[in-house]
Structure 1
Amino acid sequence: MKKNNYNNIDYDFINKIIEYTDIIDILSKYINLTKIGNNYFSICPFHKENNPSFIVNKSKKFYYCFGCKVYGNIINFLIFFKKKTFIEVVNELSSLNGIYINSNNIYKKKYNLYSESMKNINKLYIENLFNKFNFYKLSFFFIKKKWKLNVIKLFNIGYSSHLLINKFLKINKINLNILVNIGILKKKNNNYIDIFYNRLIFPIFDYINGNIIGFGGKNLYKKNLPKYINSSDSKIFKKKNCIYGLYQVKQIYNNNISKLLLVEGYTDVISLFNIGINYAVSSLGCNLTNDQIKILFNNTNELILCYDGDKSGFNSLYNLINKILLYLTDDRRISFIIMPKNEDPDSLLQKIKKEDFINIINSSIDIFDFIFKFYENNSNSFYNKINIINNLIKYIDLIPGKLMKFFFKKKICKKFNIDINELNSFLYKKNENYIYINKFINNPIRILIKFLLDKPELHKLIIIPSELKIINNYEMIIFLKIIFICYKYNINKNLLLFFKNYKYFNYLYKISKINILIKNDNNNKIFLHVLNKVYLLLYYNNYDNIIKKIKSIKLLNDIDKKYLIFLNKKILKLSKNFVL
């Protein structure tokens, strides 16, 4: 597939569209994707095949087909799959993401004009802040906040005062409607109003290219006016996909961000940076959107949410749970900080030391404990417990991470003294093959060993695929030894006695004494079900070993490629039979 010609449209803009777009969300509308490890697989839509060889990597926003060698990003896919022009695809994706463009390629000219205007206005705001009179007038605020000069400059903080916009228009000689379009002026009747007049200015940067796309303004004097205002949505600013401070964090960590601390306001971010906590960002209020969540997790796998310690802040965190759980994969961590009553990070940092706040961060509670916190005072009566459990299990299906889902179920069971098998039975009561088992034997290989010890004739059902590479661990060695002995001596009873002089007899004896309660009497069916589960786990292990070996798709040799395709087919077939 050839590289597309992006014509006169900015590469920054193209990168912005690709960055904002969730490639999995789009592709899943047209092809069936199955997640295996960190990648998604499908039958290739660009050539005929029986086995899935089309791979999509969500984090790299890239697809590749092992069969026909086609590859590219979301723009390439839509051009070739939907037979659309480049401009049509860019229009479609820009509209989806709320980014302005038009089909006549005017975008670059207009965007540059808007961006340049924002940059020049901000220069005036900064100059105005450092004007001796204004800086002296505002010094009470900076002294109270204890903000350092380098932090003020890092965030390009400015100040809007009387006749500043008139000065800008005189210097730049641009149409007033430009300032309306970018949210600096508001037209009312025949008059133009400077919405940021007499406010401390916080420029909002595009987190990808560092362009100024909007402003936040803090009212310092008039009590009858809103304390904070943001730019209204415009041709270059959409609040729903902006994260304040993320550009600065990315510059500091060179795009390698281990965690992000999400707070509500500009001053929270700046006060945290001021004491060296330079991974703080703001959602521009307490209403976190899906777009913002995607942006956050595109940049880190650990998110700590710290909203204000008032009723609205606490309620906002609670309302976020249903939304943010949808992004809780096994490689991500979400935790919460509950601030003291009527405090936010900015106000609290004026009363406590840096070390104290770091202790607060380190004491953040994970999302599951945070969920339980809402119900801790209402779990006394029997009927309340039933109601709470019903509410909690609704969250289970929201969680995409299989391990996360499993540990959340374990927490529910521990909290309310429920056996996890009973909970699973309730959740998946249609699964006829479900087995109630002791904790020690909660392992598919041990279950198979238990079955063979009880009914050695089941060994005749075992045919280990020749292409399967076996894990060399203690339990697998014992399992294979049992199969070998059963086949060699055609053992159909008293298998345990045969191992009396073996070093692992005590281990086998322990397993033999454990009772397994099975829902139906079809031992053969249960045994084959667990056996296939073991095969599936082994295929997964083989797949992971291939991925670790090749590291890059360009290093695939023909043998690895064929084996990887074979593994994909086996895993897809076997995984349909299991609820994990």
Structure 2
Amino acid sequence: MISQSFIQELLDRTDIVDVIERDVPLRRAGANYSACCPFHSEKTPSFTVSPTKQFYHCFGCGAHGNAIGFVMEYGGMHFVEAVNELAARIGLQIPAQQAETGAGSQPDSARAKLQGTEGTEGTEHSPGALLEAMKVAARFYREQLKLSKNAIDYLKQRGLTGATAARFGIGYAPAGWQNLHTPFPGQPENATKRLLVQVGLMVEGDGGKCYDRFRDRIMFPIVNLKGRIVGFGGRVLEKGEPKYLNSPETPLFQKGRELYNLFGARRAIREAGKVIVVEGYMDVVALSQHGIEYAVATLGTATTPYHIQKLLRQTDNIVFCFDADSAGKKAAWRALEDSLAQLADGKSISFLFLPEGEDPDSYIRNHGRSAFEKLLEQTLPLSVFLFRELSARADLKSSEGRAKLVQDAKPLLARIAAPGLALMLVKRLTEISGLSERELEGILKIRRVTAFPVREKPSRPKPVSPYEWLLQILLYHPAYIQKLDRELLAYDQEYEKEVVALAALVEFIDAHPHIGGGTAIPLMTIHFRDSPYRALLEQAASKTLGWDGEIDLEAEFAGAMARLHEMKRKQRMAVLHNKSLSTLTPEERQELQRMAMP
């Protein structure tokens, strides 16, 4: 946990004007500064920054906060991410982070950063050294692009200008097997290779021989929400497989959590009030060159709940744009499934299917920006796409077909946490199926939703049960299963769903003892896709998204276990108390006396 004293020191040493001016052009207005608000669209400036009080406030939308709050809101970061970002900008070392990484003084040169942890074979390099290596590699690829006529001609054929290539940091990885060591002069060869293998830029083959992962490819740097390069995507120039090659999972990069161009598109997303999710790097770049700068792309993987969570922190409206072929529709359906548990009332997810044979890149080059924007006016809302697909799988003219539709809809509706949306979908299902809402409730086993919730006086939130805490902790860090008391998984009527889900999760982790890191939750999500516990596990997983560095896992795990032991003790005591004293065995009497002792 980051101490309050450190937070105060960070704020004392940070000038909020400098922080905000990196992203928002400020103008002096008396003792303060003003600008058009970055958090909502406006023509007259209502966003004020006070250098004396060190806070910002928007008189239009009410946005308000300090330097940390601005970085969180504007960058879509969690608290710890924002603190790390600000601390890095001013060279302030976080004590807890220093203890975890063993970092000493800040290196003051690129060479020192790259050396990171000089030492024995197999030593892992520091995060700073890994990030510096990615920066050096990106610069090398950009320089190589200037030297490659074939690569430049290819980009010109795709309609890209030099300005666009520069804006996205596009580069070129030359052909050959041992090119990447050249931008790292003065480094011991083995240390450089270990570093580049660790960040996924080189591959270690048989006998320990290393070679470049990316060869003869156009290179797209992948930037995280802190503005740091964490991976690359490489596209072949001519024919070849794979067409796109992405960085592997590394300490810096997890493809299920990152989105191409999200960092660069943040302001455009806020101004447009929406984000377009496409499938390829070139789709994003082509759209941007034609003036549609609020597009992002997944990184060679299906959309994940993490992607959706990240995007919904940036905007209330997500548009998934896919090809009209079967693969595109399959990807759209997967995105719909992963969106259901993340949606809240007031948020919107819709789908755009391009004409046959087109992708965003080709469509905007062939038809232009205006035509593409007209397509955006014809997107399918999630509710329409949901029932269109379900209806296509059933014969709605027959009773059996309508019954199939209801059963297919059942697990999907169970995942929806937004009460308003759930109400509208149930009403739509009654229209299609011919059943009444009451009849549907009996079939779907869902709580009756009669109206949108009425906002009442704030009350204390319902405490999270220890079973839910354990679900969240094991999803986030499966290794804690080694400390779990299995006897606590006994049936508990009050928390039946949580206990059964926890037992299923424990069984899965037992069968996959090596899962961990960035792959744990995605693997579990796939495994429990058709499980009755899916919605519960998805909700538990979504609550871990902001945990990085903010949660004392050891203390929370111990606390959950202690609460469970106390619950079980009280339950057992109640069972014994409910028995007639004459029917208690000597052992039960002794047990009751022990439990009654303070």
Give the shorter-chain TM-score range: 0.5 to 0.7
Q: What letter is aligned with 1:280?
A: A
Q: What letter is aligned with 2:265?
A: V
SS in 1 for 2:296: strand
Structure 1 residue 238 displacement after superposition = 1.6
Structure 1 residue 395 displacement after superposition = 1.9
SS in 2 for 1:170: coil
Tell me the distance in 2 between the aligned counterparts of 1:570 and 1:287. Answer: 34
Number of the residue aligned with 2:403: 386
Tell me the distance in 2 between the aligned counterparts of 1:118 and 1:8. Answer: 31
Map 1:243-392; keep pairs closer than 5 Å: 243-252=259-268, 258-377=273-392, 378=394, 379-392=396-409
SS in 2 for 1:200: strand
SS in 2 for 1:383: helix
Number of the residue aligned with 1:460: none
SS in 2 for 1:175: helix
Tell me the distance in 1 between the aligned counterparts of 2:299 and 2:327. Answer: 14
TM-score (structure 1 length as normaliser): 0.56
1:240 aligns with 2:256: yes
Contact preservation (8 Å) 1:257, 1:299: no
Aligned counterpart in structure 2 of residue 204 of structure 1, from 198, 204, 222: 222
Number of the residue aligned with 1:157: 170
Number of the residue aligned with 1:193: 211
Structure 1 residue 153 displacement after superposition = 1.1
Tell me the distance in 1 between the aligned counterparts of 2:252 and 2:8. Answer: 21
CA-to-partner distance for each residue in 1:412-452, whole Å, 9 max, x for gaps?
A: 12333444454346556998xx9xxxxxxx88xxxxxxxxx
Number of the residue aligned with 2:36: none
Structure 1 residue 191 displacement after superposition = 2.0
RMSD (Å) for aligned C-alpha atoms: 4.0
Tell me the distance in 2 between the aligned counterparts of 1:292 and 1:182. Answer: 22
CA 1:369–1:219 in structure 2 vs 1: closer, same or farther (change >3 Å)? same
Q: What letter is aligned with 2:256?
A: K
CA-to-partner distance for each residue in 1:173-197, whole Å, 9 max, x for gaps?
A: 6622111111111111232111111
Q: What letter is aligned with 1:111?
A: P
Tell me the distance in 2 between the aligned counterparts of 1:270 and 1:335. Answer: 22
Structure 1 residue 384 displacement after superposition = 0.8
TM-score (structure 2 length as normaliser): 0.54
Tell me the distance in 2 between the aligned counterparts of 1:353 and 1:363. Answer: 16
Structure 1 residue 7 displacement after superposition = 13
Number of the residue aligned with 1:412: 429
Tell me the distance in 2 between the aligned counterparts of 1:313 and 1:107. Answer: 50
Structure 1 residue 313 displacement after superposition = 2.5
1:118 aligns with 2:134: yes
Instruction: Tell me the percent identity.
Output: 22
Contact preservation (8 Å) 2:145, 2:152: no
SS in 2 for 1:568: coil
Aligned counterpart in structure 2 of residue 216 of structure 1, from 233, 238, 247: 233
Tell me the distance in 2 between the aligned counterparts of 1:104 and 1:326. Answer: 39
Number of the residue aligned with 1:104: 102
SS in 2 for 1:349: helix
Q: Mind listing any 5+ residue stretches in structure 2 that lack a counterpart?
A: 13-64, 70-77, 82-93, 107-115, 117-125, 464-598
Number of the residue aligned with 2:42: none
Q: What letter is aligned with 2:4?
A: K
Structure 1 residue 372 displacement after superposition = 1.4
Contact preservation (8 Å) 2:137, 2:183: yes
Q: What letter is aligned with 1:203?
A: P
1:180 aligns with 2:197: yes
Q: What letter is aligned with 2:381?
A: D
Number of the residue aligned with 2:459: 568
CA 1:256–1:343 in structure 2 vs 1: closer, same or farther (change >3 Å)? closer
CA-to-partner distance for each residue in 1:95-132, whole Å, 9 max, x for gaps?
A: xxxxxx9452479752222212211221121111122x
Tell me the distance in 2 between the aligned counterparts of 1:311 and 1:430. Answer: 35
Tell me the distance in 2 between the aligned counterparts of 1:102 and 1:293. Answer: 30
SS in 1 for 2:184: helix
Comparing 308-317 with 106-115, greater Cα deviation is found at 106-115
1:147 aligns with 2:148: no
CA-to-partner distance for each residue in 1:278-308, whole Å, 9 max, x for gaps?
A: 1100111241222222212222221111133
Q: Larger Cα Rg: Structure 1 or Structure 2? A: 1
Number of the residue aligned with 1:557: none
Tell me the distance in 1 between the aligned counterparts of 2:447 and 2:329. Answer: 38
How many pairs does the alignment contain?
Answer: 366
Aligned counterpart in structure 2 of residue 230 of structure 1, from 242, 246, 263: 246
Map 1:430-441; keep pairs closer than 5 Å: none
Tell me the distance in 2 between the aligned counterparts of 1:318 and 1:429. Answer: 23
Tell me the distance in 2 between the aligned counterparts of 1:234 and 1:257. Answer: 33
CA 1:181–1:251 in structure 2 vs 1: closer, same or farther (change >3 Å)? farther
